Amino acid sequence: MQLKFQSAVGKLLTTFIVIFNIVMVLLFTAKFVMDSYITVKIGFAFLAVDVFFIAPLIMLTYYKFEDDYLLIHDFPIRRYKIKYLDIFNVEDGDFETKDKTNVGLSFDRVAIGYKKHLSDEPDDYVERYVFVSPKDMNLFLIRMSARLKQNEIDLEEKAKEISLKQQEHALKKKLADEKRAREAKEKEPEIIRGSGLKMNVKAKAVEVKEDEETENTENNGTEE
């Protein structure tokens, strides 16, 4: 599966590169006509530009679909990591906007709108556009659509998972509350029965004491 896309090279840039290399060859061949090393030195300068700028510019301007983000590499050092979650629009790049960045070597471009976060706060962001020009535009858009849909599915599954965990937590809390209420209810009558027992024992003790006092009184009366 192709996940890395080189930037397409537009006709204007292609024409410039062709003319540039033709001039470079002419500068080297002019040495044999003019018998001078000046053209050779200029030719080597052209060769240096060709090797250290033009070739890397074409080879190192690319776009790669990673698991969680789209990597956009712009020669020489610029790199953009745009999370699929932050992409809010993908459309034809035939419009102009001040909040844009061009990372492409062709005018056949697609515009990717994304949220650029300014801090860790989810609502602290600005909307930006990056214009890219992959070689195989149709396949690139198919891969992009698939990634965005997969991201939506992953978000839905994550939301379902969180919802299930919340339901499970709520159920456990409900069962724990019911258990505590049941235990409290079971303990309540035991306390009442215990109190009643103490009162009965005390009442019987009073009755026994009164019987003993009555019996003693009767015995004293008999003795007299």
Domain assignments of the chain as residue spans, ordered by start: 4-135, 137-217
Within 10 angstroms of residue 130's Cβ, the number of other Cβ atoms is 25
**pLDDT value of residue 167:** 82
The predicted model gives 148-154 an average pLDDT of 85
Coil vs helix vs strand at 33: helix
**pLDDT value of residue 212:** 57
Backbone angles phi and psi of 133, in degrees to 5: -140, 75
- pLDDT tens string 13-35: 999 999 999 999 999 888 888 77
- Please state whether beta strands 87-92 and 78-83 pair in parallel, antiparallel, or not at all (unpaired): unpaired
Distance (Å, rounded) from C-alpha 58 to C-alpha 101? 18
- pLDDT tens string 88-103: 999 988 888 878 899 9
Q: CB–CB of 118/168 below 8 Å?
A: no
Measuring CA to CA, which residue among 152, 132, 160, 149 is closest to residue 62?
132
- 156-160, 195-199, 200-204: the lowest-pLDDT one: 195-199
Backbone angles phi and psi of 64, in degrees to 5: -135, 135
Is a pLDDT exceeding 90 seen at residue 128?
yes
- pLDDT tens string 59-72: 999 999 999 999 99
**For residue 158, what are the CA distances in angstroms to 115, 153, 162?**
21, 8, 6
